[in-house]
Amino acid sequence: MHFCIMRRYLNRDIILWLIYSVYLLILILPNMILPENGVLHWYDKLLRACTIILFLYPAKLMAVYLGVPSLIRKVVYNQGSWIVVFGKLLLSIVIGVVLYRMALYLYIYPYIYERSPDDGQFFAIGRFLSNFADLTVPMLLFGAIWMYDERLKADQEKTVLELQFLKNQTSPHFLFNALNSIFALVRKNDEQAAPAIMKLSGILRYLLYETTSPRIAIQKELDVIHQYIDIQKLRFGSTLQLIIHENNHASQYMISPGLLLPLIENAFKFGFSDELNVIYIDMKIDVMEHGQFSFEIKNHISESNHTEVGGLGLKNLSRRLQLEYPEDHQLLTKEENGYFIAQLHLRLQ
């Protein structure tokens, strides 16, 4: 993984240097200083221009790679101190300008332009400033591109961390509710406790191994939902009035793991009817062709928990959908005639 990232950065920089070299060729060729005899063929001009660019590269590489990366890391990640950053920038500029002047005086003037350099002008401030101005072009070019890449990388890392945090919040809540249901069976010394524990093992396997993947088969998500529902059936027995309409015509599609769990958990947590003394849940699942997915769940609103319906679970779900399905989701929730209804529509891949 690290090697692939380094290779991508290397390829990016090679392309940038090639583009910059073409820019220099376009700039140098029309303004080529001719030797004293004043005669140069076009291919001689091209060769000399390429040689000038090549011999000035050490100065420009030093100016770009010694100081600019430290500045990028400081701005994007706040790494290091400003004193060190400015120190590296200053050092890169000084070394770059000295290398630039050496290339001009030791090779470009005597061998390319065929002219004797004025040694007295080597340390002239005006020449140093002129060479520094030339070095700022690649520094600004690479700095801008690197800054964009690093900010994009930082934003992606932030999104990944936030998404993982949201997933990590969902899994313990879901597992806790499943364990709570089994605990209720064990306390009653119910013979259904053993089958419930077997169902729990499937949920644990899912939470440990499947939720780390960015996408899983939609059928795996539906399977763990059914395992959770089976545990609730064992716990509540006839108190649970559950209706499930499931149409799965395209199980090859993938979904983000654990995405539906907060909706299921919310329905069982808040779905107890004080008036009827039952838990009523009506669930509709449609997996259609072309990746269209629809999930609707309807439950009674418990009077004792009326203000808590939805809760943190649905807020986390809403944020996950924004991060993972920004343009491909619709989440609707409403209260109607004593029922809480949640509808989720997705476009799956």
Q: Which distant-in-sequence residues (6+ apart) come within 8 Å of 59 by Cβ?
A: 95, 96, 97, 98, 99, 100, 103, 131, 135
What is the three-class DSSP state of 342? Answer: strand
Band (pLDDT 50/70/90 cuts) for residue 201 is confident
Q: Say what the pLDDT of residue 60 is.
A: 92
Phi, psi of 35 (to 5 degrees): -65, 175
Per the model's pLDDT, the better-predicted residue between 17 and 125 turns out to be 17
pLDDT digits (tens, 9 = 90+) for 27-37: 877 766 665 55
Q: Say what the pLDDT of residue 250 is.
A: 67
Q: What is the 3-state secondary structure (H, E, C) of 206-254?
A: HHHHHCCCCCEEHHHHHHHHHHHHHHHHHHHHHHEEEEEEEEECCCCCE
Band (pLDDT 50/70/90 cuts) for residue 83 is very high
Band (pLDDT 50/70/90 cuts) for residue 59 is very high
The share of the chain scoring above pLDDT 70, in percent, equals 83
Band (pLDDT 50/70/90 cuts) for residue 227 is confident
Tokens of 12: 């990016």
Complete domains list, the chain, with CATH: 2-123 (no CATH), 157-347 (3.30.565.10)
- CA-based nearest residue to 262, from 312, 300, 217, 224: 312
Band (pLDDT 50/70/90 cuts) for residue 344 is very high
Q: Say what the pLDDT of residue 273 is.
A: 67
pLDDT (mean) for 155-162: 81
Q: Say what the pLDDT of residue 170 is.
A: 65
pLDDT (mean) for 151-160: 84
Distance of CA 147 to the CA centre of its chain: 16
- CA-based nearest residue to 255, from 290, 227, 217: 217
Q: Say what the pLDDT of residue 36 is.
A: 54
Q: Say what the pLDDT of residue 34 is.
A: 60
Q: Does residue 330 surpass a pLDDT of 60? A: yes
Q: Say what the pLDDT of residue 294 is.
A: 92
Q: Does residue 165 surpass a pLDDT of 60? A: yes
Per the model's pLDDT, the better-predicted residue between 270 and 75 turns out to be 75
Q: Does residue 1 surpass a pLDDT of 60? A: no
- Taking each continuous run of H as one helix and of E as one strand, the counts in the chain are 8, 8
Mean of all residue pLDDT scores within the chain: 81
Opening angle at CA 69, ends 65 and 70, nearest 5: 120
- CA-based nearest residue to 325, from 343, 310, 342, 345: 345
DSSP string, 256-303: -TTSSHHHHHHHHHH-EETTTTEEEEEEEEEE-GGGEEEEEEEEEPPG
Q: Does residue 241 surpass a pLDDT of 60? A: yes
The least confident of 81-85, 159-163, 177-181, 342-346 is 177-181
Per the model's pLDDT, the better-predicted residue between 340 and 212 turns out to be 340
Measure the CA–CA gap between 312 and 286, rounded to whole angstroms: 26
